[in-house]
Amino acid sequence: MFEKLLGRATKNALNLLHNDYFEKLRKSEYRRLDVSSEVYLDYTGGNLYPDSLIDTHHDWLKKNTFGNPHSINPTSERSSKFIETTRQTVLEFFNATDYHCIFTQNASGALKIVGESYPFSENSQLLMTADNHNSVNGIREYCISKGGKFDYVPMNQVDLSIDHNRLLNDLSSTSITGNKLFAYPAQSNVSGVKHNLNWIQTAHDHGWDVLLDAAAFVPTSVLDLQKYKPDFVSVSFYKIFGYPTGLGCLLVHNSKFEKLQKQWFAGGTVKLVTVKTNDHNLNNNYERFEDGTVNYLNIPAIQFGLDFIRGIGIKRISERVYSMRQALVRELNQFKHSDGTKMIQILGPDTIDSSGSSIVMLFNNPGAKLIPFQTIELLAAQQNISLRAGCFCNPGIDETIHAIEKDVLSEQVNLVAQNNGIGLHAERGSVRVSVGLATNNADLIRFLAFVKSLVDQTV
Ligand SMILES: Cc1ncc(COP(=O)(O)O)c(C=O)c1O
């Protein structure tokens, strides 16, 4: 509806993004987007499933009979066989030959295993980057409960990168003699900033174990675990190929498997449990951490999903996403109100090389007055555009973007406690759009036309 508002130059620039390969893919796998005139720009939130993945999985379910694994009856053996082939496919996908693959519910489930099982003690330290998802931040509670210390490496407000000197200093100068865990995201779930994977080796050189949260990184970038060798890696599969939800994995380097101390046992995790002598022997492999019956009907769909992605090639996806993000940033930077004020403030790095598929931004009314993120999300929704707004479970980045001081944060915490959860600071939050393998130039034109419709409006 707003497309007419966009200038020819912008439309031409975006039409250059037309790509026969991805346009064909859009038509064959994601036709529903066009049928319902939907613009989906929340790929970092969750990827979209291709039609063929659903068909392949459903055909497979219809053709076979599956039973609860871990038994030698035929239906059980069939399930076990598919689970194990899928596990191998995951390891191959990440070139992770010397890792265990533990299936979990999602990336948060993977991170929770590390939090629960890492041998924190009074003599331990957890170091995190301020840019982290809450599912990593939450590990500090396990560290605190064992008497350990935790700390954050701050971010630079200008480009949302991590303070490199401070990081090197924190990694090299700690006096801690116990277990040390450094946790950071390979890619920010908010700004899309790709953090330096060489920090893994630096941290190792100073005696740290490394937890790499790869949830936002792996959908559009190659993670080669022969090249970079973090000790623990968290992944959610729906972020890579959209289906099924409810599955992720924790990859644990073989050398650190025994370091994780399982806090309890459950069905499927033990070789032997006695009731009369109160003993138990844990399994010696990934099964130790897969509590109860695994999701045996859905796990094999991961294999079909990874086959689909391999068919396209992560490199091709990465290049596609790169060019779309580049075009979007360029166009968004041009929007100005008649009073000369910039409408969009893009937060994060100037160099697109160091950022992935998402763009985080603030919208301003004329006079440079911030538009609440909720307003933008609502107005976009009215145009059938799905973008995401808020704090994205990443408080560190939001506190940095809005330069919120500690005393203000303490006030907010009290306010939220009193109001039973209500009370976000008026000037918090931002708007995120993220592109993916099903995005096309028509989506970007629709989104930019929507943005253009807000020029000179006070909303
Ligand atoms: C970087 C990062 N880590 C962790 C998570 C948590 O993933 P999940 O909600 O699938 O557990 C997300 C989800 O957005 C993420 O982007």
Q: Residue 12 sits in a domain of what CATH number?
A: 3.90.1150.10
Phi and psi at residue 66, in whole multiples of 5°? -120, 140
Q: Are residues 23 and 139 in the same domain?
A: no
Task: Provide the residue count of the chain.
Answer: 459
pLDDT of residue 426: 60
Ligand 1 center to 39 CA (angstroms): 22
Sheet with 248-253, side-by-side order of all strands? 99-104, 248-253, 232-236, 209-213, 180-185, 125-129, 149-153
Are 302 and 93 in contact, with CB atoms under 8 Å apart? no
Ligand 1 center to 106 CA (angstroms): 8
How many structural domains are present in the chain?
2
Q: Are residues 8 and 66 in the same domain?
A: no
Establish if 342 belongs to a structural domain: yes
Q: Are residues 137 and 8 in the same domain?
A: no
8-state DSSP, 73? S
> Annotated catalytic residue: which of 101, 143, 249, 393?
393
Mutational pocket test of ligand 1: of 114, 132, 133, the residue with most ligand atoms within 8 Å of the beta carbon: 133
Q: How many other CB atoms are found less than 10 A from the CB of residue 38? A: 15
Q: Supply 285's token pair.
A: 């492999």
pLDDT of residue 422: 56
Establish if 33 belongs to a structural domain: yes
Residues 435, 194, 348, 401, CA torsion sign: positive
Residue type present at position 449: A
How far apart CA 393 and CA 185 sit, in angstroms, is 13
Establish if 412 belongs to a structural domain: no
Cα atoms in the Cβ-side hemisphere of radius 13 Å centred on 332: 24
- Looking at beta carbons, which pairs linking 222-228 to residues 24 or more positions away fall under 8 Å? 222/314, 222/315, 222/318, 223/94, 223/186, 224/94, 224/95, 225/94, 225/95, 225/96, 225/99, 225/251, 226/95, 226/96, 226/97, 227/95, 228/197, 228/198, 228/200, 228/201
Q: Are residues 298 and 345 in the same domain?
A: no
Q: Supply 272's token pair.
A: 């032997």
Final residue of a domain: which of 281, 311, 341?
Answer: 311
Phi and psi at residue 160, in whole multiples of 5°? 60, 25
Q: Are residues 376 and 344 in the same domain?
A: yes
Ligand 1 center to 134 CA (angstroms): 8
Final residue of a domain: which of 311, 342, 368?
Answer: 311
How far apart CA 181 and CA 35 sit, in angstroms, is 48
Establish if 417 belongs to a structural domain: no
Establish if 418 belongs to a structural domain: no
Establish if 144 belongs to a structural domain: yes
pLDDT of residue 424: 56
How far apart CA 392 and CA 398 sit, in angstroms, is 9
8-state DSSP, 391? -
Ligand 1 center to 46 CA (angstroms): 9
Q: Are residues 76 and 194 in the same domain?
A: yes
Q: Are strands 270-273 and 369-370 parallel, antiparallel or unpaired?
A: unpaired
Residues with CB under 6 A from ligand 1: 106-108, 133, 135, 185, 189, 213, 215-216, 236
How far apart CA 406 and CA 257 sit, in angstroms, is 38
8-state DSSP, 5? G
Establish if 321 belongs to a structural domain: yes
How far apart CA 368 and CA 75 sit, in angstroms, is 64
Determine the atom of ligand 1 nearest the C-alpha atom of 132: 1
Determine the atom of ligand 1 nearest the C-alpha atom of 108: 11
Decide if 393 is catalytic. Answer: yes
8-state DSSP, 49? P
pLDDT of residue 350: 65
Q: Are residues 327 and 292 in the same domain?
A: no
How far apart CA 356 and CA 193 sit, in angstroms, is 6
Which residue has its alpha carbon closest to ligand 1 atom 2?
A: 215
Q: Are residues 298 and 334 in the same domain?
A: no
How far apart CA 18 and CA 229 sit, in angstroms, is 37
Ligand 1 center to 312 CA (angstroms): 24
Establish if 409 belongs to a structural domain: no
Question: 340 lies in which domain range?
Answer: 3-48+313-391+429-452
Using CB atoms within 10 A of its CB, is residue 448 exposed (0-12), middle (13-18) or buried (19+)?
Answer: buried
Using CB atoms within 10 A of its CB, is residue 109 exposed (0-12), middle (13-18) or buried (19+)?
Answer: buried
Q: Are residues 32 and 119 in the same domain?
A: no
Determine the atom of ligand 1 nearest the C-alpha atom of 248: 10
Q: Are residues 182 and 294 in the same domain?
A: yes
Phi and psi at residue 73, in whole multiples of 5°? -70, 155
CATH (domain of 259): 3.40.640.10
Place of tokens 């390979």: 186
Q: Which residues in the chain land under pLDDT 70?
A: 1, 350-353, 420-426
Q: What is the pLDDT of residues 354-387, one digit of tens each?
A: 788 899 999 999 999 999 999 999 999 999 999 9
CB contact set of 341 (below 8 Å; sequence gap of 6+): 364, 366, 367, 368
What is the CA angle 387-390-393, rounded to 5?
Answer: 105
Q: Are residues 124 and 136 in the same domain?
A: yes
The whole-angstrom distance between residue 195's C-alpha and the CA centroid of its chain comes to: 13
Final residue of a domain: which of 264, 287, 311?
Answer: 311
Residue type present at position 397: I
Q: Are residues 215 and 74 in the same domain?
A: yes
Which of 139, 107, 314, 339 lies closest to 221 in space, CA to CA? 314
